[in-house]
A and B are shown apart, each in its own frame.
Chain A
Amino acid sequence: MTEGTALPGAFAEIADDFHALTGRDRLQLLLEFANGLPALPERYAEHPELLEPVPECQSPIFLITEVEGGGREATARLFFSAPPEAPTTRGFAAILAEALDGRPVGEVLDTPETVTTELGLAEVVSPLRLNGMAGMLARIKRQLALKAGV
């Protein structure tokens, strides 16, 4: 990792799970994430215009964040919307949701940008496609920083 930091807790666990598998099994795990992506709560499902598009992804995905409280201690909430015919993108979103949803805003902001390349996904989905996950993380951080006032 850059600056000698360890992979943040939840990401480390997810990375271990992926690295324990090879090839097709690794893709299956990503598919399990994709299938497990939580549906949008009603307040967003009915107002898709509130969500921010992530053009770095090949397939259409939209996200929105909320903060409970203020500053770095505030709780980050993440919501995603992506169609079923875009399972790779859904999988990326679900990984970010599992690792970061409900965590303190400060911890999300400190997540190193390189985290997306450490999960062992490059060889099964290609580095090009991973750019999409990096794009999501960058947008999540920007929204959270703004909303939490940090």
Chain B
Amino acid sequence: MTVSADPTPALQEYARPEKLVTTQWLADQLAAGRPADLVVVESDEDVLLYETGHIPGAVKIDWHLDLNDPVTRDYVDGEGFAKLMDAAGITRDTTVVVYGDKSNWWAAYALWVFELFGHADVRLLDGGRAAWQAEGREMTTSDDGRPAPTTGYPVVEREDAPIRAYREDVLDFLGGPLIDVRSPQEYSGERTHMPDYPQEGTVRGGHIPTARSVPWARAAAEDGRFKSRAELEEIYQSELGFETTTPTIVYCRIGERSAHSWFVLTYLLGFENVRNYDGSWTEWGNGVRLPIAQGTEPGEVPAR
């Protein structure tokens, strides 16, 4: 870590307080001009939102255009990521603070991809773009203060295994702590996509057998910031009985909302082994002969 952690007392209750920063902390960092070892990244669902105005000096990284491989359904490789980092002025030692729209879904997703490449210091801006805007903080369309491109980000082989689950992993995991973070209607099978969102071509509705329904938004407060640790423990541990020491898998539709829940479990609650199944429902709901449960109950592990 090159830039010291945000010491705000409210963050210290979380398992890994250094993974989160407050809007005030970030504003203070930027007030005297952005420190050279700190880069702010905006990652949104809407690809044009950054252009309407962004935090001064922030660079844009788009989940679809920059982080996904354009052909295979996968992430960019080590070379692609290094190229992206060089263009964004991020070196291997840079402290990266990510923020975005939609309660930081895509920001959490970007953070998770950074971690697939082992980037050491990536943090989320609590509350994301909406919180920054709601507080009337400075936004600009100017490029001033953006980091100049750098060179030499190492070509790192992506290490998926610790935090990314593939469909085969999930199939072997049925009956274990598996969390479906989609809306209740998507979980039951009533609908195959988010309310008011496009139908992305899933031919079956429902959920992965034995998965518990914990919509991502339960972890978010009204203002889009994360709930307190006590509130989160109440939900994930007391109410649902998940344990920090037991390997856990989260999924949603394409892995963005579950990246948000992955962040909550891993860094706010200190779960030791959480993987995001990014194939999620758009893969599982189309998979030939994969077992599916419908309705509001988790369902049983199918006989194999």
Q: Evaluate contact between A58 and B46: CB separation under 8 angstroms.
A: yes
Q: Does B48 contact A (CB under 8 A)?
A: yes
Determine the distance from Cα of A38 to Cα of B293 in the docked complex, in whole angstroms.
46
Cβ-neighbour of A135 out of B49, B51, B101, B198 (below 8 A): B198
Instruction: Kindly provide the distance from the CB of A103 to the nearest chain B CB, expressed in whole angstroms.
Output: 26
Q: Does B196 contact A (CB under 8 A)?
A: yes
Q: Does A107 contact B (CB under 8 A)?
A: no
Q: Evaluate contact between B48 and A31: CB separation under 8 angstroms.
A: yes
Q: 0/1 per residue, B29-60, Cβ < 8 Å to A? A: 00000000000000001111101100000000
Instruction: Kindly provide the distance from the CB of B107 to the nearest chain A CB, expressed in whole angstroms.
Output: 15
Contacts A128-B64, A129-B64 given; does A85 touch B196 at CB 8 Å: no
Contacts A126-B65, A128-B64 given; does A27 touch B196 at CB 8 Å: no
Query: Among residues 44 to 81 in chain A, which have CB atoms less than 8 Å away from a CB atom of chain B?
Result: 53, 55-60
Instruction: Kindly provide the distance from the CB of B264 to the nearest chain A CB, expressed in whole angstroms.
Output: 23
Complex interface: chain B residues within 8 A of A84 (CB): 52
Contacts A57-B198, A58-B197 given; does A34 touch B45 at CB 8 Å: no
Complex interface: chain A residues within 8 A of B47 (CB): 27, 88, 124-126, 129
Determine the distance from Cα of A57 to Cα of B196 in the docked complex, in whole angstroms.
9
Instruction: Kindly provide the distance from the CB of A14 to the nearest chain B CB, expressed in whole angstroms.
Output: 16
Q: Does A91 contact B (CB under 8 A)?
A: yes
Determine the distance from Cα of A48 to Cα of B131 in the docked complex, in whole angstroms.
28
Query: Among residues 59 to 115 in chain B, which have CB atoms less than 8 Å away from a CB atom of chain A?
Result: 62, 64-65, 101
Q: Does B199 contact A (CB under 8 A)?
A: yes
Q: Name the residue on B nearest A30 (C-beta).
A: B48
Complex interface: chain B residues within 8 A of A27 (CB): 47-48, 51
Complex interface: chain A residues within 8 A of B49 (CB): 85, 87-88
Q: Name the residue on A nearest B196 (C-beta).
A: A60
Q: Evaluate contact between B64 and A85: CB separation under 8 angstroms.
A: no
Q: Does A111 contact B (CB under 8 A)?
A: no
Contacts A55-B196, A55-B197 given; does A28 touch B51 at CB 8 Å: yes
Chain A CB count within 10 A is highest, among B48, B52, B101, B196, for B48
Q: Does A131 contact B (CB under 8 A)?
A: yes
Partner-B contacts on A (CB < 8 A): 27-28, 30-31, 34, 53, 55-60, 84-89, 91, 124-126, 128-129, 131-132, 135
A-B contacts besides A27-B47, A30-B48, 14 pairs, CB < 8 Å: A27-B48, A27-B51, A31-B52, A55-B197, A56-B198, A58-B46, A86-B46, A87-B46, A88-B48, A88-B49, A124-B47, A124-B65, A125-B47, A126-B62
4 cross-chain pairs, A with B, having the tightest CB-CB distances, nearest first: A87-B48, A126-B64, A88-B48, A56-B198
Cross-chain pairs A/B with CB under 8 angstroms, 11 sampled: A30-B48, A56-B199, A59-B45, A85-B101, A87-B48, A88-B46, A88-B48, A89-B46, A125-B47, A125-B48, A131-B198
